[in-house]
Chains A and B, each alone.
Chain A
Amino acid sequence: MATRRGVLTGAFFALLALAAVAPMLTGVAKFPQWLEIVLGGLMSGVLYSLVALGLVLIFKASGVFNFAQGAMVLFAALCLVRLMERMPFVVALALVLAIMVALAWLVERLVLRPLVNQEGIVLFMATLGVAYFLDGFGQLAMGSDVYTLDVGMPKEPKILFESTFEGGILVSTEDVIAALIAAVLVAALAFFFQKTATGRALRAVADDHQAAQSIGIPLNRIWVIVWSVAGLVALVAGVVWGSKLGVQFSLQQVALKALPVVILGGFTSIPGAIVGGLIIGLGEKLSEVYVGPFFGGGIENWFAYVLALVFLLFRPEGLFGERHIDRV
């Protein structure tokens, strides 16, 4: 059974890879162009991963499907933009971090603690409530205009491999920096989870709430920590996205794209969030450019979801998700 599943998954990826290189093989696209699109797709995939990472962290540690992650990204970015008008970047960043920790504490106190032991769907709806609240509060306190976030990232694109290909490849420096930041963040998180005592406690909680509590791990404090870490991830995502797209309400809509990423990667897997993000980003860009025109364009809006859906038909728990065994 396991091998058959492995073969199916492998076949799916082979098909995906084939579809990805098909435009080049059939001569529809030239190699440099195609490479540009692939790179662009991977870069936007990194951005999706940043939001998905926050979702996975919280789901792992508390079993809550945190719909408010997108709202947290927007909220963090809004706070940062408005604070940067009055103080230097570093101070503002520290202050926003403090705000996110305070937010995590409030969420734990006011939402999670009273709802402990409730069903997953109730907790999910509660985070939807938190998302609404954050949207309203953020715009009320900090205005609902479109802000440009300038943290000094170089905007002008670079041309690479000019000598190898005719015309070279256009790469946005901003995207490369974003990818580097994401890589550093993931490395730091991995270190935190694997090597520190708190990280071990977090993993214990993720494994089994009751067992963790019975050996003396304070669940409530762990939740505050994990929501704070998710807040930090949201802040990073907010900085990267905000400087790329501008800080505005529509950031929320883009954050919805993190959902197919987490289900494709598996709800409980940090590598899954990264790989899922890359697959979704790549698939989305390639399909938009090469398949979209046949359907009248705009398929970017749903392609990611359908891709995730088809993939889940082969592996219902996602790429790296824990295999769930049902027992009566």
Chain B
Amino acid sequence: MIYRETGQFKTTYASDQQLFPILQDRVIVVAFLLFAFVGVPYLASDYLFRAIITPFLILSLAALGLNILVGYCGQLSLGTGGFMAVGAYAAYNLAVRFPQLNLIVVFILAGLCATLVGALFGIPSLRIKGFYLAVTTLAAQFFLDWLFARVGWFTNYSSSGSVAAPPLAIFGWEIQGPVRKYLFVLSIVCVFALLAKNLVRGAIGRSWMATRDMDVAAEVIGIRPLHAKLTAFAVSSFYVGLAGALWAFIYLGAWEPLAFDVNRSFELLFMVIIGGLGSILGSFLGAAFIVILPIALNQLPAALGVPLSTATVSEVELMVFGALIVFFLIAEPRGLARLWAVGKEKLRLWPFPH
């Protein structure tokens, strides 16, 4: 009844092309953003910020980047963790070697470093396709892991191999405490999600999708595969690298290469697939699912009053996690975003059947 677009006519090109063509959607989005910026800082506890909300936001950004590559351009990548590491270590080196640089500049430059590395490892995608490509991106993952662990220059010759982020501040505004960190991350994520949403519906996004659907056909209609694939790798790596820098600086504080190992790559791929391939919203839903699930599984035995040892809990967690992944893939192979779309469609018609 409420969610219906009847009577909303598009009379200008601008209104035809706007991001959220339905008034109700715009209201919901604005209300949601207001709530996220104003409401959440008052409502959520420190634990909630630290354990769930901030990691969720940062990983959403990384998942968004991966979704651009896998979901929109159809290039399967298992090297995401490595590209996150590039962002993190680039940000660290920039911050340590050029202390006068503004933090925002550091993050952007870190993202650009990841862009370069990503485009470099994207070159094989011009010849190698499908699962072959997926395995070759593992080369990026393991090579970068090794690089940051073994080459001392990247960690500023730290003896333990672990590095710590310098104190964070922009224009004298110190990013300390969970609420400020949350607001900082939220702003960045909002800006880049908007950017991604616009990228994927523009010419470049359409060329990605054409490449995904069938690259030979795309080439025939005049899309340059070199351009489409490498831009997808570049943009995707920028997002992933930025997320890596945020993950290291804001969430971890101090880290070692192990924080960005191959398991992180798989985790991000899970987010993208559970959330929905080729959907911006799906990246957020998938990230929320994968961040919250292990925590929920961890709390569940205690909440039910079943005493289990830590080792058992982690094993049961693995089992349930694996089973749930399979279950979700069977229930909705096109991801949570698809469920959301179906729900919206139902809501439009409600309470009438047609």
Which A residues are closer than 8 A to B by beta carbons? 65, 110-111, 114-115, 118-122, 124-126, 128-137, 139-140, 144, 256, 259-260, 262-263, 267, 295-299, 301-302, 305-306, 308-309, 312-313, 316-318, 324, 326-328
Contact = CB atoms under 8 A, between A and B. Distances in A.
B322 A129 contact: yes
Nearest to A121: B76
10 contacts: A65-B131, A115-B329, A121-B277, A136-B319, A296-B151, A305-B142, A305-B143, A316-B128, A327-B216, A328-B217
Contacts of B143: 302, 305-306
Interface in B238-289: 262, 266, 269-270, 273, 277
B129 A316 contact: yes
Given A133-B319, A263-B136, A316-B129, A118 B326 contact: no
B301 interface: no
A317 B132 CA distance: 8
B39 interface: no
B169 to A, nearest CB: 36
B333 A118 contact: yes
A140 B315 CA distance: 6
Nearest to B270: A125
B145 A115 contact: no
A110 B216 CA distance: 36
**Chain B binding surface, main DSSP class:** helix
Contacts of B330: 111, 114-115, 126
Residue of B150, B277, B333 most packed against chain A (CB within 10 A): B333
A125 B217 contact: no
Contact of A328 (B145, B220, B316, B320): B220
Contacts of B321: 129, 132-133, 136
B32 interface: no
Residue of B131, B217, B326 most packed against chain A (CB within 10 A): B326
A298 B151 CA distance: 11
Contacts of B130: 120
Interface of B: 70, 76, 124, 127-132, 134-136, 138-139, 142-143, 145-146, 149-151, 214-217, 220, 262, 266, 269-270, 273, 277, 311-312, 315-326, 329-330, 333
Nearest to B123: A313
A136 B315 contact: yes
B216 A312 contact: no
Given A125-B269, A267-B131, A309-B136, A136 B150 contact: no
A115 B139 CA distance: 29
A324 B131 CA distance: 13
A265 to B, nearest CB: 11
Nearest to B127: A316
B325 A125 contact: yes
Contact of B315 (A111, A144, A263): A144
B127 A313 contact: yes
A137 B318 CA distance: 8
B287 to A, nearest CB: 16
A133 B326 contact: yes
Contact of A122 (B131, B151, B217, B333): B333
B166 to A, nearest CB: 27
Contacts of A313: 124, 127-128
Contacts of B266: 128
A328 B216 contact: yes
Given A140-B312, A312-B124, A302 B142 contact: yes
Given A121-B273, A259-B138, A328-B214, A134 B315 contact: no
B317 A136 contact: yes
Given A267-B132, A327-B216, A328-B217, A128 B325 contact: yes
A147 to B, nearest CB: 16
